[in-house]
Amino acid sequence: MVAVLPVILCGGSGTRLWPLSRAGFPKQFLCLTGDESLFQQAARRLAGLDGDGLTVAPPYIVSNEEHRFLAMEQLRETCIEPGAALLEPVGRNTAPALTLAALAAQESSNDPVLVVTPADQSVADTVAFTAAMRQAVLAAADGAIVILGITPDRPETGYGYIKAQTSNDAATAGMIVERFVEKPDVQTAQAYLAEGGYYWNAGMFVLKASVWLAALARFRPDIVQATRAAWEKRSTDQKFVRPGRAEFEAIPGESIDYAVMEHCPGSDFPIRMVALDAGWNDLGAWEAVWNTLPKDGAGNAHLGDVITTGSRNTLVQATSRLVSLVGVSDLVVIETPDAVLVADRAHSQDVKIIVNALSSSGREEHVLHRKVHRPWGWYDSIDEGSRFKVKRIQVKPKASLSLQKHHHRAEHWIVVKGTAEITRGSETLLLTENQSTYIPLGEAHRLANPGIIPLEIIEVQSGSYLGEDDIVRFEDNYGRSKT
């Protein structure tokens, strides 16, 4: 039996899929191509490798602090229990992320084969994916470094390429990787397609934990040494593993490709490629999303409440209201409660320029949606004006917010559904539907749901400052900071 450990890389902010993708809720956690998020789809695909000589362990998730509860909740929905959630205090690219997983794997098991995949890709043909990945795992079990190469169907300029050649043992050990090439211009990409032997680099890697650490020590000893130092300073809280913050911040940021893979051809670290033809897409921009979605006879892909006439080859996603198009072509229209994007499909990569402009001007629309998910549930800021804000809040059964206070605002709470257990100073109140209470400015308070159905309340804030950073936490069930 070959021991397999999936490693799902959950970093990245997906700026080119704004306004649906935000820093606080990035694209890997969105349902873009079905009823499950891209992250959930990735977890299911890797779990499907189990059997026929492979034993698949619970996956390792490499994420950041902010997204840890999103990842754990979405795994819970798929009934997949993670082996560990490795939490990066800051982003340092994929090479340190994989190194954390390799160090954790060596301590907890007997040098498994790591199957490393980003969390933000879609695969249409899971049968073909499983067959290709099984071949890659068996080759990696013999000590090879294996990369998945996507069979190209167009001269794509948005991906790096792998030049590979067949060999006598390609059916089992994979193709020989000759070299990696950067993202080409259109003419070069067309030449690659015509010549053959070139594949898109999907960023999926299969190799033993020991092989990765040895190769990294050869080509980038500074990264492996700095990551080991951060790992030695780790703290553990149930499934959450946090490397030392100061030590992790000192790690040089680098990708898996640049740190190791591009140095392997011609070295004593054998690198092979397994071709994957399974309807793969990394959904890096709205154009890619349009390519993957089902379309009507005029090439339109529409989600939500959409009415069009005389329009062709459009992508529309309406999340909160009716969107109508008349006589337009090749447009992307993404509607959310607090922002609307209209773009030419051919220029959808440039959405990141809008996100950069929002960030540089100090606006928040690139960070959070109006509806914000929290480990205890969610809140939706439904109205706001001078000195007031109105929120709709849902708390999961048996969950609670932190015990907290605010310096600049008072709050009125009205129970809409369920039962609320409210701590207010030294009092404990139990409120049901249509009952309400008042939280004075500066009063310590907590909202909890003791029931078995979701609790919903309307919260009306009033005061001189209503920012989310006006909070002092005294107790918290989720390990969040006190301020």
- Where does a domain end: 315, 330, 359? 359
Do residues 44 and 86 both lie within one domain? yes
Return d(Cα 403, Cα 456) in angstroms, integer: 18
Extract the tokens encoding 426.
């030294």
Do residues 378 and 254 both lie within one domain? no
**In a domain? residue 482:** no
**In a domain? residue 163:** yes
Exposed e or buried b per residue across 317-351, where buried means at least 16 C-beta atoms within 10 angstroms of its C-beta: bbbeeebebeeeebbbbbbbeebebebebeebbeb
Residue type at 57? A
pLDDT number for residue 482: 62
Do residues 375 and 243 both lie within one domain? no
**Which residues in 151-289 belong to E strands, given as ranges?**
161-165, 175-181, 198-208, 235-237, 240-242, 271-276, 280-281
- Where does a domain end: 359, 380, 410? 359
Tracing tokens 């929002």 back to the chain, one arrives at 358
CA 204 from chain center: how many Å? Answer: 15
Exposed e or buried b per residue across 127-163, where buried means at least 16 C-beta atoms within 10 angstroms of its C-beta: eebbebbbbbbbbbbeebbbbbbbebeebbeebbbbb
Do residues 95 and 129 both lie within one domain? yes
- Tell me the pLDDT of the chain (483 aa) as tens digits: 899 999 999 987 788 999 999 998 999 999 998 889 999 999 999 999 998 889 999 999 999 988 988 899 999 999 999 999 999 999 999 999 999 999 999 988 789 999 999 999 999 999 999 999 999 999 999 999 999 999 998 998 889 999 998 876 666 678 899 999 999 999 999 999 999 999 999 999 999 999 999 999 999 999 999 999 999 999 998 889 999 999 999 999 999 999 999 999 988 898 999 999 999 998 889 999 999 999 999 999 999 999 999 999 999 999 999 999 999 999 999 999 999 999 999 999 899 999 999 999 999 899 888 998 888 999 999 999 999 999 999 999 999 999 999 999 999 999 999 999 999 999 999 999 999 999 999 999 999 999 999 999 999 999 999 988 899 999 888 876 666
Backbone angles phi, psi at 69, to 5 degrees: -75, -30
Residue type at 94? T
pLDDT number for residue 171: 65
CB 102 within 8 A of CB 78: no
Length of the chain: 483
3-state secondary structure of 303: strand
**In a domain? residue 392:** yes
Do residues 45 and 65 both lie within one domain? yes
Q: Are strands 427-431 and 420-424 parallel, antiparallel or unpaired?
A: antiparallel
Cα separation values, 304 from 35, 49, 176, 324, 334, Å: 13, 34, 46, 11, 10
* Residue-by-residue DSSP string for 428-456: EEEE-TT-EEEE-TT--EEEE--SSS-EE
**In a domain? residue 481:** no
Extract the tokens encoding 461.
């804030």
Do residues 275 and 376 both lie within one domain? no
* Residue-by-residue DSSP string for 254-278: --HHHHTGGG-TTSSS-EEEEEE-S
* Residue-by-residue DSSP string for 101-145: HHHHHHHHSS-PEEEEEESS-EES-HHHHHHHHHHHHHHHHTT-E
**In a domain? residue 366:** no
- Where does a domain end: 281, 310, 336? 281
Count of domains for the chain: 3
Return d(Cα 54, Cα 212) in angstroms, integer: 20
Do residues 267 and 332 both lie within one domain? no
Backbone angles phi, psi at 92, to 5 degrees: -130, 25
**Residue 427 is part of a domain; what is its CATH number?**
2.60.120.10
Q: Which pTM does this prediction carry?
A: 0.88
**In a domain? residue 364:** no
Ranges of H-type helices in 340-405? 351-360
pLDDT number for residue 51: 86
Do residues 434 and 462 both lie within one domain? yes
Return d(Cα 317, Cα 399) in angstroms, integer: 32
Do residues 458 and 310 both lie within one domain? no
Residue of 121, 99, 109 whose CA lies nearest to 56: 109
Do residues 123 and 227 both lie within one domain? yes
pLDDT number for residue 170: 62
pLDDT number for residue 483: 60
Residue type at 234? R
Return d(Cα 133, Cα 140) in angstroms, integer: 10
Maximum pairwise Cα distance, the chain: 77
Return d(Cα 275, Cα 164) in angstroms, integer: 9
**In a domain? residue 330:** yes
Neighbours of 54 (CB within 10 A): 19
Return d(Cα 14, Cα 389) in angstroms, integer: 29
Q: Domain span at residue 258?
A: 2-281
pLDDT number for residue 45: 95
Residue 179's DSSP bridge partners are 163
Q: How many helices (H) and strands (E) does the chain have?
A: 12, 31
Do residues 22 and 43 both lie within one domain? yes
Do residues 227 and 311 both lie within one domain? no
**In a domain? residue 277:** yes
Ranges of H-type helices in 299-445? 351-360
